[in-house]
Amino acid sequence: MKVVFWLLDVNYEKREEIPEIWMWGINASGERILVIDRSFVDYFYAVVKEDREVMQVAEDIKCQHHASIEKLEIVERKHFGKPVKALKVYCKNPDETAKLAKSLRNLESIEDCFEDDVRFSMRYLIDNNISPCGWHEVEAFEEEPDANVSVDKTFVAKSAPKASEKTSVPKLRTLAFSIIRYSREGSPKAHKDPVVIISTANSSGEEKQFLADEAKNDKQMLETFIEHVQKFNPDIIVGYGSNERDWPYLRERCKKLRLPLHVDRTKTEPHKSTYGHVSVTGRANIDLADYADEFPEVKVKTLENLADYLGAAKTEKRTIIEEIDYAEHWESTEKRELLKKFSQENTRSIMMIADAVLDFATQLSFLVGLPLDHVGTAAAGLRVEWFIIKNTRDEGELVPRRTEQPYMPYTGGIVLSPKPGLHEKVAVLDFKSMYPNLMITYNLSPDSYVSPNMPEPTTGVYVAPEVGHKFRRQSDGFFKKILLQLIKARSEIRSKMNEFSPESAEYRVLDARQKAVKVITNATYGYAGWVGARWYIKPVAEATAAWGRHVIQTTIKMAETAGLKVVYGDTDSIFIAYEKKKVEQLSKEIQAKLGLEVELDKVYERVFFTEAKKRYAGLLSDGKLDIVGLEAMRGDWAMVAKTVQEEVLTIVLKERSPEKAKAFVKQFISDLRQKRIAYHDLVIWKTLTKPPSEYEVKAAHVEASKMLKEKGWDLTVGDKVGYVIVKGSGRLYERVKPYMLASYDEVDIEYYVTKQVVPAAARVLESFGVTEEQLLSVQEKSEGKKLLTDFFET
């Protein structure tokens, strides 16, 4: 019978020594099904040395390793575009593929072995062109389901599944959860500290909370929670920080309580995979923290901040309870209610983020071919890499091994020094997807690179400016093929989007898909220059950047020749005085001369530059302000400084009144000194980028993290530390306190005045002759009427 299913998860099991691929899916009628394929045989490639007789080498190996080799084929493949003869070695036991490859690699007749590092289940997906989060068809027969497997039906595949045309996404059951752990002092430890609250919410709109008993025993609660998961039987489980915190804690806690944490579909427990995610067999476990980078506007990526950004704040003002106060809240009858409410709110926030992110996650998984639970934890470079692996199969290109490479930096894009001050009517012209298009135009790819010791092809080469790297003109490299395919796909998706209303499910899915395509397209250049890339060839990235410099420099010259003043530019954009006709004409000329598309990205009514690069603010015709690079956009400045700077920019750009801005700043400083500003707005957040012991100099946020550690609160690399500066003497790092451990009275307000608010404001106002001293002076005359004495203020 023909079975059609949408692939949710895949894993590999071995039953009676037979390797099985298990595909967990959903069929068109919404049944949860398992499709088992017992026919797939793992393999790897052994590339034979050029001077060796391939047949002979094959015979020798077959004899020598007949016990572990299922079969052996002689094949033609490519390695960085170069044709090679290889043996495709099929292995009886997938668990021993790498071992066998390792021993063959030592053979004198073998150059190297490849793809033994592609895991069995990924091998299966790639070879059969199966995409997670996509629909497939398979000839199969139904089998009696295993008692330990919770699905509606189980099938055994008679042949490999085939991708289907269907592009919809089935209705998925999603369960969100968050936990509250009780700890009297410091970070909770699973061996002693119980989980006291688990809050859940699901895609059917139900919310359920589980509580420990009065003696804080959590065993029964955990049991009920596990039952609840099984009963709802979700396809997707979402949490925030769940891979690093919740799952490991629940696992350890359950182990201690001798309770099997059976939340999956096969009665096994969540397990940490090599990719860093926690895998729940038969479901997709997703840690939404892995998608927090999708929201760069949110600087401190707490659950609350993300939810607020996504619109939670509009509905209701929540009370945030710090982890440090959980125990106290649990102990008090009234406060416990607040804690319960807070916990449920957290889960609601998780659901909200899931709504904002899951379409994208699904489409990314479908595009790059990594299972839904892997794709989130996979770093950008690995997402690109799996996409390449999936899409170079038909090329016959072997997947290179990851090798240790020396890091050699190279020159990147050009940044122009801005013309400081205010400018009226400035157009921003930029090249559409400049790097991907350069890679297409000049065939920049790992397999089309012509190294200095290679003979130049008769059909000619492209020679990159400045750096001189050569790439063959004829026969497209796989980067070019892939990028063309991606760009075409995106424009097709975007035109299809027009057929639907922006509110429809179809539109949402398509939008998520075009976003996924864009992400992979734009990351390809970065991938090319990444030393850790399997297909790392430095000249590919270096030549791309060199062509980019050539293009932007040519563009600048053409603009100037056309009589257009260039005010600023960065990598793939130029800011020019806006003269409609001339700019339109220029765009056409650039397109004709360079073969790349330029776009009039925006026109600023007015734009402000300091002398620094990468920092400016522009006013758009709809009254919106674009602030770029300045303190107001940074996460490591106190809110007081950011809001003041934003207001200053607004006044200066909209009203052109530095005087008014100055008055505003002075008023604000006065308010600040009178403590009329929220304590929260004084907190400074900085990331701990390495273990505290590895810092070479003392730093405020590191000292703050040490103080937290003293109190038992562990922070790990990547965490943000929130601190305030308190009164006292000595270096800054000697006057720091974690914000939860300090009070307003201790705060050194003058630090915030002189080192946060004034510098942020002066960054803008100094261009207009307003000095830091003037902002700090108390008796300044208003309305801009300056007295002689104003110039002598200190």
Interface with DNA (CB under 7 A): 296, 299, 379-382, 409-413, 415, 430, 523, 525-527, 529-532, 541, 545, 570-573, 610, 612-615, 628-629, 633-636, 685-690, 695-702, 720, 731-733, 755, 759, 763
Answer whether 567's CB lies under 8 Å from 560's CB: no
201 three-class SS: strand
Residue 723: which of 644, 638, 641 has the closest Cα? 638
Token pair of 778, please? 């108390």
| β-bridge mates for residue 138, sequence order | 3
- Whichever of 78 and 615 has its CB closer to DNA, that residue is 615
Smallest separation (angstroms) from DNA to the CB of 660:
23
- Output the smallest distance, CB 409 to DNA, in A: 4
Nearer to DNA, 20 or 746 (CB): 746
CB of 444 to DNA, least distance (A): 14
Structure tokens given for 372: 């839904």
Asked if 121 and 405 touch (Cβ cutoff 8 Å), the reply is no
- For the CB of residue 21, give the shortest distance to DNA in the complex, in Å: 25
Q: In the complex with DNA, which residue's Cβ is closer, 235 or 373?
A: 373
Report whether 346 contacts 200 (CB < 8 A): no
- Residue 519: CB minimum distance to DNA, A: 8
DSSP label of 681: G
Q: Residue 608's closest CA among 423, 415, 418?
A: 423
Query: What's the CA dihedral at 540, 545, 551, 553 to 10 degrees?
Result: -150
Least gap, CB of 717 to DNA (angstroms): 9
As measured in angstroms, the least distance from the Cβ of 130 to DNA is 24
Query: Sign (positive/negative) of CA torsion 630, 633, 637, 642?
Result: positive
At residue 5, the 3 state secondary structure works out as strand
Tokens, residue 359: 């379409």
Cβ 747 to DNA, closest distance in Å? 14
User: Which C-beta is closer to DNA: that of 213 or that of 466?
Assistant: 466
Q: Are 279 and 266 in contact (CB under 8 A)?
A: no
Closest CB to DNA among residues 271, 698: 698
Q: What are phi and psi of 116, to 5 degrees?
A: -70, -15
Nearer to DNA, 21 or 545 (CB): 545
* Shortest separation between residue 168's beta carbon and DNA, angstroms: 29
Minimum distance, C-beta of residue 631 to DNA, in the bound complex (Å): 8
Measured from the CB of residue 478, what is the shortest distance to DNA in angstroms? 18
Rounded to a whole number of angstroms, the minimum distance from the CB of residue 123 to DNA is 19
CB of 687 to DNA, least distance (A): 3
Closest approach of DNA to the CB of residue 538, in Å? 8
Smallest distance from the beta carbon of 696 to DNA, in angstroms? 4
DSSP 123-149: HHHHHTT--TTSEEEEEEEEEPPPTT-
Q: Which residue's CB is nearer to DNA, number 230 or number 687?
A: 687
Q: CB-wise, 524 or 774, nearer to DNA?
A: 524
Shorter beta-carbon distance to DNA: residue 81 or 381: 381
- Give me the amino acid identity at 611: E
Structure tokens at 61: 């190996």
Cβ nearer to DNA, comparing 33 with 523:
523
Contact 197, 210 (CB under 8 A): yes
User: Whole-angstrom Cα distance, residue 222 to residue 228?
Assistant: 10
Tokens representing residue 280 in the block: 């729940």
Q: In angstroms, what is the minimal distance from the CB of 742 to DNA?
A: 17
Give the residue with the Cβ less far from DNA, 5 or 530.
Answer: 530
Question: Among residues 176 and 617, whose Cβ is nearest to DNA?
Answer: 617
User: For DNA, which is the closer residue by CB, 186 or 381?
Assistant: 381
Q: Which is nearer to DNA, 670 or 689 (CB)?
A: 689
Distance CA 571, CA 429 (A): 11
Query: What gap in Å lies between CA 697 and CA 257, rounded to an integer?
Result: 44
Residues contacting 310, CB < 8 A, separation 6+: 352, 353, 356
Closer CB to DNA, 250 or 758, in the complex: 758
What do you get for the CA distance between the two ends of the chain, in Å? Answer: 88
CA–CA separation, 227 vs 215, rounded Å? 22
What is the 3 state secondary structure string of 221-280?
HHHHHHHHHHHHCCCEEEECCHHHHHHHHHHHHHHHCCCCCCCCCCCCCCEECCCCCEEC
Query: Among candidates 453, 450, 451, 496, which has minimal Cα distance to 473?
Result: 450
CB 143 within 8 A of CB 149: no
Measured at the CA of 209, the angle between CA 205 and CA 210, to 5 degrees, comes to 145
Rg (CA), the chain: 30
Sequence-ordered list of residues with C-beta below 8 angstroms from that of 18, at least 6 positions apart, any chain? 38
Nearest-approach distance from CB 633 to DNA, in angstroms = 4
Q: Which C-beta is closer to DNA: that of 463 or that of 612? A: 612
In the complex with DNA, which residue's Cβ is closer, 565 or 755? 755
Tokens, residue 156 = 């055994």
Residue 620, both tokens: 């758009």
CA 276 to chain centre: 14
What does DSSP assign to residue 94? G
The neighbouring-strand residues paired with 236 are: 174, 284
Total residue count of the chain as it appears in this document = 794
**Contact call for residues 284 and 9 (beta carbons, < 8 A):** yes
